[in-house]
Amino acid sequence: MSTVTLHETSAHHATHDHGHHEHHDSFISKYVFSQDHKTIAKQFLVTGIIWAIIGGLFSVIFRLQLGYPEATFPFLEDFLGHWAKGGKLQPEFYYALVTMHGTILVFFVLTAGLSGTFANFLIPLQIGARDMASPMLNMLSYWFFFLASVIMMSSLFVQTGPASGGWTVYPPLSALGEASSGSKIGMDLWLVSMAMFIVSSLLGGLNYITTILNMRTKGMSMTRMPLSIWALFFTAVLGVLSFPVLLSGAILLLFDRNLGTSFYLSDIVVAGKILPNEGGSAILFQHLFWFLGHPEVYIILLPAMGMSSEILSVNSRKPIFGYMAMIGSLFAICILAFLVWAHHMFVTGLNPFLGSVFVLLTLLIAVPSAIKVFNWLTTLWKGNIRFTPGMLFAIGFVSLFISGGLTGIFLGNSALDIHLHDTYFVIAHFHIVMGVASFFGMFAGVYHWYPKMFGRYLNNTLAYIHFWVTLIGSYLIFWPMHYEGLAGMPRRYYDFSNWESFKMFGGLNQFISLIAMIVFAVQILFVINFFYSIWKGRKVTTMNPWEANTLEWTTPIRPGHGNWEGDIPEVHRWPYDYGKDGVDFIPQDVPVGADESKH
Amino acid sequence: METEVIKPKNKIHPHKFTLWVGIGSIVMMFAGLTSAYIVKRNQSGWVSYELPIAFWYSTIVILLSSLTIHLSAKCFKERMMGKYRKWMAATMLLGVLFVVLQFIGFKEFWQMGMTLQANVSFSFLYVIVGLHGLHILGGVVALIVMSLKAFSKKTRNYSIVPVDLICTYWHFVDLLWLYLLIFLIMIR
């Protein structure tokens, strides 16, 4: 009598196990309304790149104003019309540009463009799944993002201009249409667009978490997952728990703007007219905003951390140092992210005792951050380093994270923050640690996984130019801002030439603006490299060009929907067996040999 | 020949798991709103109020509906399709009734002078209860679809997953209402 063993597959395998019969896709279902996670990832990436060009261009335009406050640029009038009458940027539009630069870069590029791209691309490929838990929701996630993008984009073209109260949209400026031209229809469009954006990131986040927890291939235990997946997992958890709070804050703001409520408004006089609003509190919005806003910083940063960890290990030909400590520190950052929001509010009249609690919790973040930095450096230590473009950007990420993180220790102290709040010191800090560092993580990811995305390589010479100019340029732009900030130069000012105390920075501001233009030009070079290489780049000829261990390199060079042609590979080991027992690398799907040592 | 079926570990269906994470997300939204409410309540200009009677009736209705959807899911599992249909339809009707009663409650509240703009405490009530109502409406739409499918002769209902999903969601919005009710009674 023989025994037959049947494995009951769960429902998702039955529904998504369709790697072989995807031949009759039309153009629309393959490239537009695609449910393939890899295509959706590319959609997020390309939309993100478009937004990054727009957001970056805005910064170049307002840097023109900051560097050359006296000059006129007639070409600006051709381009911006009455917003730059006579070639001079109008103050109202300067604020609009600053606001949109922040909004676009924080949300549309470094949240959707970064998480949206790499969570979609890497999660199924690296954990061994054919697709996301719900490909349908995944597709909706992109299209909600697209809708948000269209609405935000349309706000650039309304007569009164886009939102201009800063990317944090604090009331009362954002709550009262009469407060400024950007507080009119532009602000409503901003809120509606953000609501769509939140829906998009929630749908994405739900999918990422479920896929990671539920759909790993056989043998892929949680502690065998690459750190990129761990980081994307914590990112999704942060997003799912913090974005709804921003949504509730935004809903209350919409009510205040359009239905006459007073959640955030009280005792306000506009142009000599006393408004009827009573009993609201503008600080309440700041609490709700920063309860998202601070986790948002880590939503931006964690994917960059995870991808850099992975790339550093692969290109040092060494296992990542302190794998469990890396996961532990990600978790610690995740918890602390929810407990430090009031450090953005030290100057709002916050009770100083409460402030000191937030100081302590804020400074505690230095501990997991230092663990991560230590582990990255020890991973590099005595490694057999290959300076691929991806690797350079990952190392650049570590450099920027250290430089920007150190100034966080200054700002986290409430006593110092009272002086430094809303100065260029803050601008320098968060641009280095969150903006540029995350961009470096994103670039590292693009250069490293481009061969998997498009089956071709990016041009290396252009990549090296891109790296060096961006790294040196970023430091040249933001390092001097620390000194300006220490001298008290406030952020968000249109023109500093009227202040005796800031006149001495005129030359420095010009220098920063010049470098900003050069760095922007080099980003355009990257974009050209990116699109050119999709069709004309050098073709990938081996399945595993970086000789990496993770599962995405076991798929065909250009995987179809379903990722693996045959069965999904089984996992037998962690992803960091580099240089083990004298073997350069052992992919995760190779069974453990009888005489193999433990890692 | 013996046949042995090995069931995989991790039995939770991915859609069900997605729902649970989504519930966590909704909880955070209401946590944000209710904590904003607590912060505002301790500031000047707060006005206490009584909840409209209709809200109490609606509470009974939604508790009943939780019972009926539970019975409906139970009948589905036992393949008693006739009863499943009836209980599902009953839940749908109770859901609609809940929305109607909440609307009546709002109207009652409004007519007593407690309008949306009159005081920030009333504004909070409208927004919080209204947002819960939207979540209920979403559930009602799903219940209508489920009921139509249950009575349709064309669709065959084999998978427990949709029934399970709507059941979990409906119990959740019921619990959420109980939380909000108790919250609004205790803190006003």
pLDDT of residue B58: 95
Answer whether A281 sits within 8 Å of B7, measured CB to CB: no
pLDDT of residue A593: 85
pLDDT of residue B99: 95
pLDDT above 70 for A9: no
Answer whether B28 sits within 8 Å of A266, measured CB to CB: no
Q: Which string of b and e fits A393-429 if b means at least 16 CB within 10 Å?
A: bbbbbbebbbbbbebbebbbbbeebeebbebbbbbbb
pLDDT in tens, A138-156: 999 999 999 999 999 999 9
Q: Tell me the C-alpha distance between A368 and B16, whole Å.
A: 33
pLDDT above 50 for A22: no
Q: What is the mean pLDDT of residues A352-360?
A: 94
CA distance A122 to chain B (A): 19
Q: Tell me the C-alpha distance between A497 and A519, whole Å.
A: 25
Backbone φ, ψ for residue B2 (5° rounding): -95, 140
Three-state secondary-structure class, residue A48: helix
Q: Which residue of A has its CA nearest to B8?
A: A8
CATH code (residue B147)? 1.20.120.80
Answer whether A4 sits within 8 Å of B4, measured CB to CB: yes
Average the pLDDT over each of A396-400, A516-520, B70-74, B108-112 and give the range with the smallest value: B108-112
pLDDT of residue A7: 42
Answer whether A279 sits within 8 Å of B17, measured CB to CB: no
Q: Tell me the C-alpha distance between A532 and B96, whole Å.
A: 56
A516 within 8 A of A427, measured Cβ to Cβ? no
Answer whether A263 sits within 8 Å of B123, measured CB to CB: yes
- Provide, as residue numbers in chain B, all residues whose Cβ is less than 8 Å from the Cβ of A281: 39-40, 43
Selection from A557, A546, A551, A554 nearest residue A584 by Cα: A546
And the tokens for A210? 């479920």
Using 50, 70 and 90 to split pLDDT, how confident is the model at A82? confident
A589 within 8 A of A572, measured Cβ to Cβ? yes
And the tokens for A71? 């000059």
In-domain check, residue B16: no
pLDDT above 70 for A2: no
Best mutation target among A2, A3, A8, A10 (most B Cβ atoms within 10 Å) is A10
- Provide, as residue numbers in chain B, all residues whose Cβ is less than 8 Å from the Cβ of A203: none
- Percent of chain A past pLDDT 70, that is, above it, reads 96
- Provide, as residue numbers in chain A, all residues whose Cβ is less than 8 Å from the Cβ of B17: 133, 210, 213-214
Best mutation target among B17, B19, B20, B21 (most A Cβ atoms within 10 Å) is B21
- Provide, as residue numbers in chain B, all residues whose Cβ is less than 8 Å from the Cβ of A209: 21
Query: Residue B68 belongs to what domain range?
Result: 51-186
Answer whether A281 sits within 8 Å of B40, measured CB to CB: yes
And the tokens for A385? 């380093």
A12 or A46, which is more confident: A46
- Provide, as residue numbers in chain B, all residues whose Cβ is less than 8 Å from the Cβ of A137: 18
Q: How many CB pairs under 8 A join A and B?
A: 139
pLDDT of residue B10: 53
In-domain check, residue B71: yes
Selection from A534, A532, A566, A570 nearest residue A551 by Cα: A570
pLDDT above 50 for A6: no
Selection from A390, A392, A440 nearest residue A114 by Cα: A440
CATH code (residue A532)? 1.20.210.10
pLDDT in tens, A321-339: 999 999 999 999 999 999 9
Q: What is the mean pLDDT of chain A?
A: 92
Q: What is the mean pLDDT of residues A247-274?
A: 90
pLDDT of residue B11: 66
pLDDT above 70 for A5: no
Neighbours of A205 (CB within 10 A): 27
A208 within 8 A of A299, measured Cβ to Cβ? no
Contact of B9 with chain A, judged by CB distance below 8 Å, is answered with no
pLDDT above 70 for A4: no
B100 within 8 A of B70, measured Cβ to Cβ? no
Report in angstroms the alpha-carbon separations of A497 from A372, A484, A486, A522: 42, 14, 18, 30
Answer whether B13 sits within 8 Å of A240, measured CB to CB: no
In-domain check, residue A337: yes
Answer whether B127 sits within 8 Å of A252, measured CB to CB: yes
CA distance A231 to chain B (A): 18
The answer for residues whose C-beta is within 8 angstroms of residue A387's C-beta and 6 or more apart is A315
- Provide, as residue numbers in chain B, all residues whose Cβ is less than 8 Å from the Cβ of A201: none
A341 within 8 A of A362, measured Cβ to Cβ? no
**Across the interface, which of A206, A209, A284 has its CB nearest the CB of B36?**
A284
A318 within 8 A of A383, measured Cβ to Cβ? yes
Neighbours of A115 (CB within 10 A): 27
Answer whether B5 sits within 8 Å of A280, measured CB to CB: no
**Across the interface, which of B18, B40, B161 has its CB nearest the CB of A206?**
B18
And the tokens for A56? 């970056």
pLDDT above 50 for A398: yes
pLDDT above 80 for A598: no
pLDDT in tens, A185-215: 999 999 999 999 999 999 999 999 999 999 9
Half-sphere exposure (CA, 13 Å, Cβ side) for A242? 26
Q: Which residue of B has its CA nearest to A1?
A: B1
A482 within 8 A of A425, measured Cβ to Cβ? yes
Using 50, 70 and 90 to split pLDDT, how confident is the model at A528? very high
Using 50, 70 and 90 to split pLDDT, how confident is the model at A493? very high
Answer whether A245 sits within 8 Å of B8, measured CB to CB: no
pLDDT above 90 for A264: yes
The ipTM of this complex is 0.89
Using 50, 70 and 90 to split pLDDT, how confident is the model at A12? very low
pLDDT of residue B9: 53
Q: What is the mean pLDDT of residues A481-504?
A: 93
Q: Tell me the C-alpha distance between A494 and A66, whole Å.
A: 7
Q: List all residues of chain B from 17 to 56 with a beta carbon under 8 Å from chain A.
A: 17-18, 21-22, 24-26, 28-33, 36, 39-40, 43-46
pLDDT above 50 for A61: yes
Please list the pLDDT of chain B residue by residue as tens digits (188 residues): 444 454 455 568 888 999 999 999 999 999 999 999 998 888 777 888 888 999 999 999 999 999 999 999 999 988 888 899 999 999 999 999 999 999 999 998 899 888 888 888 899 999 999 999 999 999 999 999 999 888 887 767 678 889 999 999 999 999 999 999 999 998 87
Query: Residue A200 belongs to what domain range?
Result: 34-585
pLDDT above 80 for A402: yes
Q: Provide the number of structural domains found in chain A.
A: 1
pLDDT of residue A399: 97
CA distance B184 to chain A (A): 17
Q: Provide the number of structural domains found in chain B.
A: 1
Number of helices (H), then strands (E), in chain B: 5, 1
In-domain check, residue B79: yes
Q: What is the mean pLDDT of residues A32-59?
A: 95
Report in angstroms the alpha-carbon separations of B2 from A4, A10, A199, A232: 6, 22, 50, 44
Task: Tell me whether strands A583-585 and A578-580 are parallel, antiparallel or unpaired.
Answer: antiparallel
Q: Which residue of B has its CA nearest to A211?
A: B14
In-domain check, residue B32: no
Strand partners, A583: A580
Answer whether B32 sits within 8 Å of A4, measured CB to CB: no
pLDDT in tens, A531-561: 999 999 999 999 999 999 999 999 999 998 8
pLDDT of residue A259: 92
Half-sphere exposure (CA, 13 Å, Cβ side) for B109? 27
> What's the pTM?
0.92
pLDDT in tens, A557-591: 999 889 999 899 999 999 999 998 889 999 999 99
